[in-house]
Amino acid sequence: MKVNINNPVLFKELKLRFRSPKSFVGLLFYLVAMCLFVFGFIFLTMNITGVSYFRPTESMLLFSFLAFIQLGLVLFITPGLTAGAISSEREKQTLPILLTTSQSSFQIISGKLLSSVAFLMLLTVAGLPIYSLVFLFGGISPMDFVKIFFFLFVTLLAIGSIGILFSTLIRRTIVSMIATYGIMLFLSAVTGFLLIIVMQVALFNFNGVSSPPPSILGHILASINPAVLFATLLSPAVGESVIEMTQIKLPIWIGYLIFYISITVLSLWLAVKKLRVNMKKSK
């Protein structure tokens, strides 16, 4: 089967998004905020410690703050960019015209998703010079940098795919956006709260004579929570404590990849299948 890599939907969405002054104004404010945070952190740290240099441990702390800021950016901006991709076309009554073109359902869905992903990736790449300041003070390896951005990309694709799915299934953009933000909050906040409860219950029932029993539910909750994963990537001690609490030796990043890649594939497959569900073939 011949694969057509030409995607007019993607090209059109990229032109509309990147020709808009709002996109570059948003990028400017983001970079200004990041610069103020980084230089403010360095200035306050030097004043508090009373020294005129930046220690590697403080550099690692700054890198951790930047990584969690990027994670928050992905979690809270991605639903807003993707949850209205298809439903807004339906509200403007342009979706039937789009569906009658020669573009396949996959080209439409992937074009809408990749245009949103491209904008968020632009925000991430534009912040690389700010990240480079961290390397000047040591304490961070290039592999730490690569791992953080790889898992950011995986999370971005998964949340974006969920937004595209809800935008396809739900007719109204506001409802689709609420549903997407609800899933995002469940994965990022509710799973963390449930993890604390499960671990506390396990410790309460533990008699202390032997090692605590394995907690499969606790390991699953830790594996699907982005904040827990990033904490383990930034500090190996956190990963060791999670393994010690759950008594399951499998690293949580493996479960994270399996879960979020599965979510991405399943969401895109359902979105492609449901995009033309109401269209009847003429006999």
Instruction: State the CB neighbour count (10 A cutoff) for residue 198.
Output: 20
Inter-residue contact 68 to 34 (CB < 8 Å)? no
Inter-residue contact 151 to 253 (CB < 8 Å)? yes
Q: CA–CA separation, 113 vs 160, rounded Å?
A: 7
pLDDT value at residue 3: 43
pLDDT value at residue 283: 35
Instruction: State the CB neighbour count (10 A cutoff) for residue 135.
Output: 14
Q: CA–CA separation, 160 vs 116, rounded Å?
A: 8
- Dihedrals phi, psi of 200, to nearest 5 degrees: -65, -40
Q: CA–CA separation, 31 vs 126, rounded Å?
A: 8
| Residues 135, 139, 142: CA angle, nearest 5 degrees | 55
CA distances from 248 to 62, 98, 221, 242 (A): 31, 49, 13, 9
Q: What is the pLDDT along the chain (283 residues), one digit of tens a residue?
A: 344 557 777 787 778 777 778 778 888 888 888 888 888 887 787 777 766 666 767 778 888 888 888 888 888 888 888 888 888 888 888 888 888 877 888 888 888 888 888 888 888 888 888 777 777 776 677 788 888 889 999 999 999 999 999 999 988 889 999 999 999 999 999 998 998 888 887 777 666 556 667 788 888 999 999 999 999 988 888 888 888 888 888 889 999 999 999 999 999 999 999 887 655 443 3
pLDDT value at residue 48: 75
pTM: 0.86
Q: CA–CA separation, 183 vs 190, rounded Å?
A: 10
| Residues 150, 140, 51: CA angle, nearest 5 degrees | 145
Crossing angle (nearest 10°) for helices 56-82 and 21-49: 160
